[in-house]
Amino acid sequence: MPEPLLIFAILIAVFVGFNIGGSTTAPAFGPAVGASLVPKVVAGGLMAVFFGLGAATIGRRVVDTLGQQVLHDSSLFTLESSIVILGLVGLALFAGNRTGVPASTSMTTVGVIAGLGVASGELQWATMREILFWWVVAPIAGFAVSVVVGYVYYQRVADWISSSSADEPLFAIDRSGTIPTVTVTSSQRDELLAGVIVVGVGCLMAFSSGTSNIANVVAPLIGGGVIEMPIGIGLGSAAVALGALTIARRTLETLGSDIVELPLPAALVASTVSATIIVVLSLLGIPASFVVVATVSIAGLGWSRTLRGDGDSENRLSTPVGDGGVEPAEKHGALTPTGDGEPERELDFDPLESARVVTLQHVLPGVATASAYVVFSVAPVY
């Protein structure tokens, strides 16, 4: 029978995975759900499948990095230290949700493990320098690519998506037979292609999340030999799937994500650029933050629109919010009327807000790192 401490450690890991599933499903599939391409339950299912696929393939490399290469001695990952590490990661996730700025789970996990390494004198500085190098390069690359795409191609993408949008869902579930089947409700090629692209980008984001985030759930337990890699991958993926199919339904319904609040073309561009960068870094075994790369990619898109001179601040509209008030357009982007009289959100750029978000995304992992160093210095449970 497993000892109580092991059960507690696994429960904390499941809690972290559960929250990751709840918080990452909306950025991945919010545009598809918002466009009525897939129902929420299908979005949760796709998140579970593609996260698990990313975790079981490329994600192993990131687990090896965090579990074997950040510390000289992986035996420091005892049950007690693993509980502290996963607990601090869970607290950072909670704090990020409370402040409205999602904390980088990968940066927090690396920082907490680094705090253990410094306190014990077992930190692999060469590995940390490599990770930090890519943490600098990845956002710069995301920003640069997004500026180019935004300046040269964004308007074409936006116009194509606008002309290809369907008034009705493209896919429906036919329950008339014994076994429900999915039927296509549109015969327009461009509408189908646009719908497939929106759902496909969501699947790519879910896959990239699996490649990077699985290590944040189970790396300490696997690194310390508490559980084996296949069991850890399965456990972490199941925990994320549980979050995706339960609490993510609420975030999908409210679309309470910065990425989802963007106009659809911007969300697709930023998501594609960010997910691709994260997959490449995961192939290198580098734990990286999707939320940081996505934030600077969004900022790059906004800045490119400023360079083009698109959007007139005097013509910005306001958009109603859920509590019946009116929210300034600066927060979610300017709106312009479309041909049918409905406002369509445009991409806007607020450098101060972008700087605030990126700063907080680094402050929370920094606080978690310092907390880990203090805890492991005062109570060396490794």
Give 202-227 pLDDT, tens digit per residue. Answer: 999 999 999 999 999 999 999 999 99
Q: What is the pLDDT of residue 23?
A: 81
Q: What is the pLDDT of residue 13?
A: 95
Q: What is the pLDDT of residue 112?
A: 96
Mean pLDDT for 86-93 is: 88
Distance from C-alpha of 245 to C-alpha of 209, rounded to nearest angstrom: 16
Would you say 206 and 46 are in contact if contact means Cβ atoms under 8 Å apart? yes
Q: What is the pLDDT of residue 165?
A: 62
Angle ∠(272,277,279) on CA atoms, nearest 5: 95
Amino acid at site 89: V
What is the pLDDT confidence band of residue 170, given thresholds at 50, 70 and 90?
low
Taking alpha carbons only, the member of 92, 49, 335 closest to residue 209 is 49
Taking alpha carbons only, the member of 344, 188, 353 closest to residue 263 is 344
Taking alpha carbons only, the member of 190, 179, 142, 188 closest to residue 294 is 142
Mind giving me the DSSP string for 17-86?
HHHHHHHHHHHHHHHHHHTTSS-HHHHHHHHHHHHHHHHHTTHHHHHHIIIIISBS-GGG--HHHHHHHH
Taking alpha carbons only, the member of 332, 325, 327 closest to residue 347 is 332
Distance from C-alpha of 348 to C-alpha of 147, rounded to nearest angstrom: 13
Mean pLDDT for 310-321 is: 37
Provide the whole-model pTM.
0.81
- Give percent above pLDDT 90 in the chain: 47
User: CB 155: neighbour CB atoms within 10 A?
Assistant: 14
Element spanning 126, H or E:
helix 125-152
Report pLDDT digits (tens) over 120-142: 999 999 999 999 999 999 999 99
Mean pLDDT for 256-268 is: 65
Mean pLDDT for 267-278 is: 91
Element spanning 360, H or E:
helix 351-378
Q: Which residue has the higher pLDDT, 338 or 245?
A: 245
Report pLDDT digits (tens) over 26-77: 888 888 887 778 888 889 999 999 999 999 999 999 999 999 999 999 999 9
Would you say 316 and 330 are in contact if contact means Cβ atoms under 8 Å apart? yes
Mean pLDDT for 355-366 is: 76
Q: What is the pLDDT of residue 1?
A: 44
Distance of CA 22 to the CA centre of its chain: 10
Report the phi/psi class of residue 91: left, alpha or beta, with left for phi > 0 and alpha for psi in -120 to 50: alpha
Structure tokens at 240: 């994320």
Weakest-pLDDT range from 67-81, 225-239, 323-337: 323-337
DSSP state of 123: B
Q: What is the pLDDT of residue 188?
A: 60
Report the phi/psi class of residue 189: left, alpha or beta, with left for phi > 0 and alpha for psi in -120 to 50: alpha
Q: What is the pLDDT of residue 304?
A: 87
Report pLDDT digits (tens) over 108-121: 999 999 999 999 99
Q: What is the mean pLDDT of the chain?
A: 81
Q: What is the pLDDT of residue 319?
A: 32
CA distances 213 to 89, 93, 120, 209, 354, Å, are 12, 13, 25, 5, 24
Q: What is the pLDDT of residue 193?
A: 79
Q: What is the pLDDT of residue 308?
A: 75
Q: What is the pLDDT of residue 327?
A: 40
- What does the domain layout of the chain look like in residue ranges? 4-311+346-378
Q: Which residue has the higher pLDDT, 278 or 353?
A: 278
Longest CA span, the chain: 68
Weakest-pLDDT range from 31-40, 82-91, 188-197: 188-197
Q: What is the pLDDT of residue 146?
A: 93
Q: Where are the alpha helices (DSSP H) in 224-320?
A: 229-245, 248-254, 264-283, 290-308
Taking alpha carbons only, the member of 306, 343, 346, 297 closest to residue 158 is 346
Mind giving me the DSSP string for 321-344?
-TTSSEE-HHHH--EEE-TTS-EE
Q: What is the pLDDT of residue 337?
A: 39
- Give percent above pLDDT 70 in the chain: 76
Weakest-pLDDT range from 168-177, 278-287, 317-326, 340-349: 317-326
